[in-house]
Structure 1
Amino acid sequence: MKTKQTAKRQLTVRFMGLFALILLLMNVIFVGLSIAFVYDYISDRSEHIFETIEKSASSEQSWSRLVDNYVIEDEGEALRVRLSNGKTYYSEDARETFEDIAKGRSVPFLEHFVFADDERYYYEEKDVDNAKIALVIDSEAITDIVTSLLMANLLLNVIGLMVGALLIYWMVGRWSQKLSKMSNELNQLDETQGYLTVPEDPQEFYQVATAFNTLLKKQRQAIEREKQFVSDASHELRTPIAAIRGHVNLIQRRSETHPEVIPQSLAFIDKESKRIEQLSEQLLTLGRAENKKQVEDINLSQLVTQEIEDLQTTRKRAINMQVEAGIHFKAAKTDLQQIIQNLLENALKYAPTGEIKVSLQQNKDILLQVADQGVGIADEEKEKIFERLYRVDQARSSKVDGSGIGLSIVKALVTKYEGIIQVEDNQPKGTIFTITFSKK
């Protein structure tokens, strides 16, 4: 990676640019305030001199004697009095100053300031009685002080930029070290073990590392589930296929001498092929469970009732229904049918006797419950039953028809509609499946 592309360099440059921009703005403000201070200071002095002259001036006074009394020569002040009769009076050494003023140039945005050669003056005229009075104040000294302060401030800014650049580079370097460490750990991670080290600060690094570890954990769990699924699916398919091939070989070997084996073998082949077909269909259904389907407003009460009545007709098994009327839910009809049918089939398989109770009610949420009085489910297996091809008590369940995918389909479809499925023990025995849908 090129140096200019590193986060450390980019952040340093951007922070330094922002820092320099702030310093520039502060300097502009400082210069403006300094100019305003100089201007106010000199204009206040000028105003004070004119007020003194206005209070004491009279047409009879002798300007030749008094003109020096209003200014302080040591502070660079000069006064000129021009009477209406044409006479002009200057304070001591003021004539040369006014000659310089006549040759100087004014500053457009600073009223009364005049630049003459290397000198800086404040010049103002006012009419007092029958005289036109002109006042000059040498502003070089105070402007030199302000200029020195500006230069000192500029030097401090340069030092500040250098120190700031070093500090910013060092602090950004500490952050980038954490990023580099995370990057190195990412390159060393494999699909089975290891997690990112989670830094305590800054908070964004903590959140990113935590989120990545959570995602990594879910991915590994998914990989493990897929491996288990492939293994279980292979086992589930291998058994009926082997049995079918065995009966095909039996027919080939003995059908001529023992024709009575043909009907028996064909019946077995038909049974096992239907089992493979059912397993394939369920696998396809599970794969399509997360696909988007067109939703509609479904009368869930009628749908649950209809599915139960259809099942009772084909299975000749009584089911206790407690279905509240008028409950509606927006979903794909086939998805809801899959949920109801799989829960009922599961109850019938594992509870060949005893009461099966189905209830549907709505309070704040929609609650669908299927309770049986079958073999029950151990606490440590309650979460595993929703895994693909998992069956409770594998040895005993091998005698029960089914593929172990039905509840996986139910779980996937319930999750699709942001619902929750829970498994609880029934009393005195059996299991209760509860599905909760938020009413939107």
Structure 2
Amino acid sequence: MFFVKTENVRSSRKIIVRTFAKLFAMIFLVLVVVTTSTVAYRLILNRQHDVVGLAQKMATSDIDSAIDWDTWRENSIVDLRDVYMTAKLNANKQTLYSDRTAKTVATKDVKIKLLDQYYWVHERGLYYRYTVSVKNGRLIVMIGMSSVFKTLKTMLLVMLLTTFALYMLAVFFIRHLADKISAPLVNFTQAVGQVTLNESIETQLPEVNEPAEVNALRETSVLWLMSLQDQVIREKEFIANASHELKTPLTAFRGNLALIKRRGQDHPEVVPRALELLDQEAERMQGLVSQLLLISQAERQSMKIGSAQPLVEIFDQFLQVAKAETNRQIEIQRMPAGKVITDKINAVHILKIIFENALKYSEAQERVILRLGFDYIEIVDFGLGIPLEDRSKVFERFFRGDRAHSSKINGTGLGLALAAELAAKSQMKISFSDNQSRGTIARIDFLDEQ
């Protein structure tokens, strides 16, 4: 069973909700700001147009008494609330106000100029000032913007309430959508956390058709877990086989030691033979442990394949090793060879392992053929051969065919497993086929230079 530590790690659901919540909050905020700014601008423009239109209309009227102001108020079609006028006459240098408030607003002491034609009047707010020439002087119109701000305040309040309601509704749907999107991944993650390698992987993981990413993740996870399951099974078999292989020499050790203890003094003639057997078993155990260490090292080793090199150089170096290995007849067959990409030391080691197997599983009088091709090397023997049903198993650790056991050939069953491990990391491929009419052809293919 697998467990995943998720402390302080945000889930995809939480990421989706937070991301879209921030996005919608930004969109709504921009919408409120833009809408309010646009409406405010239009309201202010309309207010200014009212002032200009009113001032231009008043420019054609004669304003020289309070009666004129009263007549103007009665006949005006414009909303005159918070609108104040001041008429400055040239003839008698008289200043007339539309009412008392107009005089207060026009006083310099209570107003501060903010922008061109905009003033802040103490205790009354923002005013727009417009001046126009009349027949006997000039007319100053002051119009307040309080109605504009009241309208904006009401509009802003309504927009904020509406936007907040829409935002909460959007968050609700975002959470619902996030749950729907993340549900397959959450369910799959929980299923993976409960997977056991003792049962079929395919049946333990739920089917996922969509979204496509989770479906791809499921397929990849199934393949990975099945590979892990196979590896665990192989490791268990390896431990069992290793225990069995180590148990045999240890049993022989104890048997021969017991024999020496029991009969060594009374029958000293048994001691040399017992010691010889002990030495053989010690040598066998030493070879087994060495092979196991080499396989373990090969599994951990990270190979760096160098540049391309002539295959003939690898073949010639291997040939020297082969001739030193045996006095048996070696037939050499050469064809033009190219350059290959591989690790030279590992290549020679692999060829040596396969060559030793060829010697081991064929009679001493039989020759061995070493054949160099363009991008391959073949080792041909005339021995027992490999049954078709065993060829898929020859690279398994401790595997030895029945004929190997029956002929009592020494070995650990780890040589080809080591060769396969090295070949996988050295751009090489090992295959076996029948040698007509007797024996085996072992072929080592190299990745040739492109």
TM tier relative to shorter chain: 0.7 to 0.9
Q: 2:78 aligns with which of 71, 74, 83?
A: 74
**TM-superposition CA deviations, 1:150-184 (whole Å, max 9, x none):** 22211111112321232233334445655653454
Task: State the match for 2:287 in structure 1.
Answer: 278
Aligned mate of 1:359, from 357, 368, 372: 372
For 2:336 and 2:386, the matched residues in 1 are separated by 28
Q: How far off is 1:345 after superposition?
A: 2.3
User: How far apart, in 2, do the equivalents of 1:135 and 1:261 lie?
Assistant: 136
Alpha-carbon distance, 1:228 to partner: 0.7
2:317 alignment partner, SS class: helix
Counterpart amino acid of residue 369 in structure 2? I
Alignment of 1:15-414 (within 5 A): 15-44=20-49, 63-64=62-63, 72-76=76-80, 80-82=86-88, 87=93, 93=98, 96-97=101-102, 99-100=104-105, 102=107, 108=114, 112=118, 114=120, 117=123, 121-125=127-131, 132-174=138-180, 177-178=183-184, 181-182=187-188, 184-186=190-192, 188-193=194-199, 194=201, 195-197=204-206, 199-202=208-211, 205-206=214-215, 208-243=217-252, 245-246=254-255, 266-292=275-301, 301=311, 302-315=313-326, 316-322=328-334, 327=339, 331=343, 334-350=345-361, 353=366, 356-359=369-372, 361=374, 367-372=375-380, 377=386, 381-391=390-400, 393-396=401-404, 399=407, 400-414=409-423
Distance 1:15 1:277, change over 3 A: same
Once the 2 structures are TM-superposed, how far is the Cα of residue 146 of structure 1 from its aligned partner?
A: 3.8
1:105 CA drift (Å): 5.2
TM-score by length of 1: 0.74
Q: Deviations over 1:186-233 (max 9, x none)?
A: 554333125332544455544554444333322221111011111222
| AA matched with 1:159 | A
Question: C-alpha distance in 2, partners of 1:270/1:186?
Answer: 51
**1:425 correspondence with 2:433:** yes
Give the alignment's TM-score, normalised by structure 2: 0.72
Structure 1, gaps ≥5 residues long = 362-366
Do the aligned partners of 1:358 and 1:370 also contact (CA within 8 Å) in 2?
A: yes
Q: Which amino acid aligns with 1:36?
A: Y
More displaced stretch, 188-197 vs 239-248: 239-248
Q: Helix, strand or coil for the counterpart of 1:228?
A: helix
Matched length: 424
Distance 1:270 1:341 in 2: 25
Inter-partner Cα distance in structure 1 for 2:135 and 2:316: 112
Greater relative contact order structure (CA < 8 Å, 6+ sep): 2
Q: Percent identity, aligned pairs only?
A: 21
8 Å CA contact 1:80–1:88 kept in 2: the answer is no
- What residue identity is the alignment partner of 1:231? A
Deviation at 1:62, TM superposition (A): 6.4
Q: Structure 1 residue 185: deviation in Å?
A: 3.1
> In structure 2, the residue corresponding to 1:30 is in which secondary structure?
helix
CA shift, 1:389, in A, is 1.3
Of stretches 177-186 and 33-42 in structure 1, the one that deviates more from structure 2 is 177-186
Call closer, same or farther: CA 1:115–1:89 in 2, change over 3 Å.
Answer: closer
Preserved contact between residue 255 and residue 261 of structure 1 (Cα < 8 Å): yes
Output the CA distance in 1 between the equivalents of 2:116 and 2:406: 101
Amino acid at match of 2:372: S
Q: Superposition RMSD on alpha carbons, in Å?
A: 4.7
